[in-house]
């Protein structure tokens, strides 16, 4: 299966696509540029907003307002104020991938800007009560998502080449019992962002591999080719959540590299799940 061009964007580091059912658009970010962008499934660009710093991910609250994960914590779109602040960390750390969990917390991780520093990052949980450290000694905190019952969290620290599973406690947001769920052979690329379909299959972007793969029970069952190598993140989109929108990155590639940093679209033959919303605490 081959993904087709949705939008010529040329993003340096396109990431974090989220379907917005109210606007019928995909919200996505160009991380280091601090840009939050929108695109319809017809390829029409919507409004764009530039946050005051790098933005690794975005999420919507139940009321429909949006926040972004910036180096210091979570930032409201409408006035750039902080919803929740991370503890003081090294100056070269920033937020990377993140999502709302099934009960409305935000879970997201950090990494260093520029050359990744081994085990300098970590994974955090945000809610109205606290900012909680979940996992430390992470190098590139990346894709994450939850099983249908919310009791398993899947997580990627890219250089490990693994997708790990944790037991997830919905009552307090704590994780336990970390174990490897799947390993991506390095010759296929490095695992980056991910999403989950209605049958529990994980769709994982392969940085350097020019593809998104579906895994079930830890094994690859499907592969979508993307015509540029640095594939960053897929998300299910559309009124029936049966389209897959895929972000990519141009960073480090030849400026003439075709398709790098553009957005792509395909019909995978299965539907996904609507992104979780943050609770009212994040308004």
From the CB of residue 104, how many other CB atoms can be counted at a distance below 10 Å? 18
What is the pLDDT at residue 217? 95
* 181-194 residue pLDDT tens: 999 999 999 999 99
What is the pLDDT at residue 102? 98
What is the pLDDT at residue 78? 84
Q: Which two tokens stand for residue 61?
A: 């609250």
What is the pLDDT at residue 178? 98
Give the homologous superfamily in CATH for domain 4-282. Answer: TolB, C-terminal domain (2.120.10.30)
Active site residues: 192
Low-confidence residues of the chain: pLDDT under 50: none
* 90-136 residue pLDDT tens: 889 999 999 999 999 999 999 999 889 999 999 999 999 899 999 99
What is the pLDDT at residue 79? 86
What is the pLDDT at residue 255? 80
What is the pLDDT at residue 138? 98
Strand partners, 35: 30, 50
Backbone angles phi, psi at 188, to 5 degrees: -90, -10
Question: What's the alpha-carbon Rg for the chain, to the nearest Å?
Answer: 17
Conformation bin of residue 12: beta by default, left when phi > 0, alpha when psi is -120 to 50: alpha
């Amino acid at each position: 299966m081959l993904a087709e061009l949705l939008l010529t964007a040329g993003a340096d580091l396109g990431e974090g696509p989220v379907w917005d059912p109210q606007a019928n658009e995909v919200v996505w970010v160009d991380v280091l540029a601090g840009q939050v962008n929108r695109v319809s499934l017809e390829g029409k660009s919507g409004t764009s907003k530039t946050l005051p710093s790098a933005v690794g991910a975005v999420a919507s609250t139940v009321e429909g307002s949006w926040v972004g994960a910036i180096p210091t914590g979570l930032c409201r779109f409408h006035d750039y104020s902080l919803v929740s602040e991370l503890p003081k960390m090294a100056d070269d750390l920033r937020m990377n991938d993140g999502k709302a969990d099934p009960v409305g917390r935000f879970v997201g991780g950090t990494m260093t800007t520029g050359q990744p520093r081994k085990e300098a990052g970590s994974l955090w949980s945000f809610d109205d009560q606290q900012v909680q450290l979940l996992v430390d000694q992470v190098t590139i905190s990346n894709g994450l998502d939850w099983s249908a019952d919310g009791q398993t969290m899947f997580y990627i620290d890219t250089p490990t080449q693994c997708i790990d599973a944790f037991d997830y406690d919905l009552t307090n947001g704590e994780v336990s019992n970390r174990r490897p769920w799947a390993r991506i052979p390095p010759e296929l690329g490095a695992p980056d962002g991910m999403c989950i379909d209605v049958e529990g299959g994980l769709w994982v972007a392969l940085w350097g591999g020019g593809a998104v793969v579906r895994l079930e029970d830890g094994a690859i069952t499907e592969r979508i080719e993307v015509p540029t190598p640095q594939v960053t993140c897929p998300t299910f989109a559309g009124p029936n959540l049966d389209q897959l929108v895929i972000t990519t990155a141009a960073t480090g590639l030849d400026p003439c590299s075709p398709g790098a940093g553009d957005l792509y679209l395909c019909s995978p033959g299965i539907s996904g799940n609507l992104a979780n919303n943050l609770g009212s605490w994040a308004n």
